[in-house]
Structure 1
Amino acid sequence: MVAQNRKARYDYHIEDTVEAGLVLVGTEVKSLRAGHASLVDGYAVVERGEAWLQGVHIPEYAEGTWTNHEPRRPRKLLLHRREIERLIGKTQEAGLTLVPLSLYFKDGRAKVEIAVARGKKNYDKRQALAERQAKREADRAMARRGRED
């Protein structure tokens, strides 16, 4: 796992996920292998039958020379035609967007997990936060109770 977008699960209802390959240049791969990347502002779009990852920050490679890459350049996603058509159909629904969840290496190839997501309202976020806090308190109480016995 190189990078993960934890805020995406907080800000969006995840409806479906897809694994996609990435078209990268050499210095981007080296920077990713060093563990540097940020998915926070990232999103995916489908333009003219091709999927693109935008807004993802992969910093320049420290030992790179004039061949270094641009940190926030659009990167092409490698998906099958039917997967792209399915994403087009889903994103044309109102309120749905494509958000990157994680960036990782699988069998030596860079992969990104893309989610079809619907934005949460503020009250949904507060409710999710309250549920998580209640679960945490219940777990603590159970742990304390287990130690007392």
Structure 2
Amino acid sequence: MATKSNGDIVVATNRQAHRDYEIIDTWEAGIMLKGSEVKSLREAKVQLRDAYARFTGRELFLIGLHIAGYSSASAQGGHELERSRKLLLHQHELEEMKARVDQEHLTLVPLSLYFKGGRAKLELGMGKGRKHYDKRQAIAKRDSDMDAKRAMAARRREE
């Protein structure tokens, strides 16, 4: 498992989110989990790829997050693999997010799932979907940036 620069233990990342969406803003949210789900997260048995967040009333839920069953759990003590999980944010944050999502037609996409101080946290990105040609432009820009970095590094080595 990877660690962030501040010591958080990263369990999973959604790498496709940065390609498919133009991320405008990010939020850190707690997530309500059952015991066997936390144990599965510690084993990094989770997929963020098809997950998204949606408002239901005044609450925010994460839909489509797949957490595999805990390997040492009994059959009857497990959890549902893909259930809606409530995200924990302050009320003023929820109100701000809901207003922006409704006004600007944005999407809430999970970017990463990690442990911070022993608690599971979700980095939630607010973004706008990219069209197919936008994705190609983003990939081309990333490739040209990498080429420029390589050229500068090679130049420094020559000196």
| 1:117 aligned partner | 127
The partner residue of 1:126 within 132, 136, 141 is 136
Contact 1:44–1:100 (CA under 8 A) maintained in structure 2: yes
- Pairs within 5 Å for 1:100-111: 100-111=110-121
Q: Distance in 1 between matches of 2:98 and 2:24?
A: 14
Aligned length: 149
SS of the residue corresponding to residue 46 of structure 2 reads: coil
Could you tell me how far apart the structure 1 residues matched to 2:117 and 2:129 are?
A: 33
Which stretch has the larger CA shift, 93-102 or 66-75? Answer: 93-102
**Residue equivalent to 2:45:** 36
What is the CA-CA distance between 1:145 and the residue it aligns to? 2.5
Matches of 1:18 and 1:146, distance apart in 2: 38
Superposed, 1:12-31 pairs within 5 Å as 12-31=21-40
Q: Secondary structure at the match of 2:67?
A: coil
Q: Tell me the TM-score normalised to structure 2 length.
A: 0.89
TM-score, normalised relative to structure 1: 0.95
1:1-149 to structure 2, matched below 5 A, reads 1-65=10-74, 66-149=76-159
3-state DSSP class of the match of 1:116? Answer: strand
Identical-residue share of aligned pairs (%): 51
* Aligned-partner SS, 1:16: strand
Q: Distance in 1 between matches of 2:104 and 2:89?
A: 23
Amino acid at match of 2:19: Y
Name structure 1 gaps, 5 residues minimum: none
Q: Distance in 1 between matches of 2:100 and 2:60?
A: 14
Distance 1:139 1:17 in 2: 27
Deviation at 1:94, TM superposition (A): 4.8
Q: Structure 1 counterpart of 2:138, which letter?
A: A
CA distance in 2, matches of 1:54, 1:75: 7
- CA shift for structure 1 position 56: 0.8
- CA RMSD, aligned part only? 1.2
Q: What SS does the aligned partner of 1:71 have?
A: coil
Distance 2:70 2:133 in 1: 41
Amino acid at match of 1:132: R
Where structure 2 has 5 or more consecutive residues not aligned to the other structure, the ranges are 1-9
Q: Deviations over 1:90-143 (max 9, x none)?
A: 111353111001100111111101111100111211111111111111222223
Deviation at 1:25, TM superposition (A): 0.4
One-letter amino acid matched to 2:31? L
